[in-house]
Structure 1
């Protein structure tokens, strides 16, 4: 049976039985981490139907790692090489490739995580449209940063992420089997084909940061709920580092893309005005903290975000 026929069947029945799944991996200059992650996918008790690796112009030995993996024939591996379009551009390209090939589900993965052997099986057993695997660190501590409360209603909430899975539950054992989350990371997020058909693709214009959170908001706006699956274990190989230099190039994208989320999805006029207020506050406080570089960054970010109020055309639902 073709993937197209299977997609039609599952969208009609709503059952998870027999669905095909493609894994989409984005990588850039982390060949050794990528190799470990691919080992983890090869060890899954539920074998994926395809593994699509988008290589964002890696300059290390990533091409050799991928060539060796193809030669081993233990994974149905497809490699897409492109210019470095960031994580957002990579996931856009990979999800579109998986959609065009007709897969029923798409599982998004970064190159610095390794799924436990039963991770994919645990996800595929859940008959829901949007799921996430739950992350832990190398010591087994819960480090799932997906928000259980992502507030785009309160204009006084400077950061919309109000509570996370790992701030709500002490450990994995204390979680229920399914936990509803409001945003996601593209590290273990799974979506059905019907989500892409209605919501569209990751927005490549984000480059890095908040592309995943913005996609989750779009999905939830269609009435879908997103579930963290306790028994789907994903192990991060690196420590979380969510503190970035706001005066550097990453700071520009963090400010700009946070502003875009508010401008696009803020639930009232005051929330949609928050980016302007944040910009003003950063500029006024720059002599005391951040300095001129951060002030320039936030001004550039606000100017750029104004031009991104609408979803990028290539991210819109397929026609």
Structure 2
């Protein structure tokens, strides 16, 4: 059976309403809802209005390689029992075959069948930034779906390749924590706690692991670490 698949390439020409003669629907939001609000809105539109079976989504700093879509479609056709795919957006070389099952992904090159959205629901809309993709992957896994990562559907991700870290030596070891502003750190901590709140044991385990990372940050950058610790305590009580 031939599967129906549509895609859209983001470009400044989107604002003109078309790109290479492909119709584009531009959705303008009244408020800045961040990346999470954008993915929520886009997938909701796809679910409610698109006649396509599949959606392929990504951030605006994704650079799609020429054969990425063809390799994605090939992967879908060769794996009829799978409804969730992920393009190789982080230069992953650890494959024993042309695909592998993973538990997490990023919202860069993720691909879903509409039936998954109908069962799992939409991404969390108010995360703004950070962990919306990993929370959605967790829900997908808990719903019984595998995420199949495709080795040869390659996307270069600008954020991944240019990521910066707070860093400080501890004897011979480099202690690192992702470099981010105060407001981003707030969402980083809050959302990491919230995504594990579906289960108390899972939440407690994650809270302890997160606390270890915060202690690292206190060592590297004390003012940032104290801010993170306050957020950790506040959201631990709330969730």
TM over 0.5: yes
Partner of 1:186: 107
Q: Distance in 1 between matches of 2:27 and 2:34?
A: 14
- The alignment status of 1:222 with 2:136, answered yes or no, reads no
Q: CA deviation at 1:20?
A: 3.4
Q: Secondary structure at the match of 2:184?
A: helix
Residue in 1 that maps onto 2:163: 241
User: 2:62: which partner in 1?
Assistant: 113
Q: What's the CA shift string for 1:160-212, capped at 9, x where partnerless?
A: xxxxxx4xx2xxxx541111111010000001111101100010121111110
Paired with 2:189 and 2:43, the residues of 1 have a C-alpha distance of 25
Q: In the alignment, which residue of structure 1 is the partner of 2:4?
A: 19
Partner residue, 1:76: 23
Seen in structure 2, the aligned counterparts of structure 1 residues 301 and 85 have a Cα distance that, compared at 3 Å, is: farther
SS at match of 1:251: helix
Aligned residues: 219
Q: Is the 8 A contact 1:131 1:228 kept in 2?
A: yes
Asked if 1:99 is matched to 2:47, the reply is: yes
CA contact (8 A) 1:177 1:231 kept: yes
What does 1:156-171 correspond to in 2, within 5 Å? 166=93, 169=94
The aligned residue for residue 172 of structure 2 is none
Unaligned runs of 5+ in 2: 166-177
Q: Is the 8 A contact 1:209 1:254 kept in 2?
A: yes
1:88 aligns with 2:36: yes
**Distance (Å, rounded) in 1 between the aligned partners of 2:38 and 2:236:** 21
Residues 305 and 101 from structure 1, CA distance in 2 versus in 1: closer, same or farther, beyond 3 angstroms?
farther
Which among 19, 24, 38 is matched to residue 10 of structure 2? 38
What is the CA–CA distance in structure 2 between the aligned matches of 1:260 and 1:245, rounded to whole Å?
21
Contact 2:185 2:228 in 1 (8 A): yes
Decide which of 258, 264, 272 is 2:203's aligned counterpart: 272
3-state DSSP of counterpart to 1:80: coil
8 A contact 1:206–1:257 mirrored in 2: yes
Which residue number corresponds to residue 208 of structure 1?
129
TM (norm. structure 2) is 0.77
- The answer on 1:294 being equivalent to 2:225 is yes
TM normalised by structure 1 equals 0.60
**How far did 1:99 drift?**
0.5
Q: Partners of 1:279 and 1:196 in 2: how far apart?
A: 29
How many Å separate the matches in 2 of 1:203 and 1:298? 24
Q: Which runs of 5+ in 1 are unaligned?
A: 1-14, 24-36, 40-61, 137-142, 145-165, 310-319
Instruction: Check if 1:135 corresponds to 2:83.
Output: no
- Name the CA shift for 1:118/1:264 in 2 (closer, same or farther; >3 Å): same
Name the counterpart of 1:313. Answer: none
Q: State the Cα distance separating 1:109 from its structure 2 match.
A: 1.1
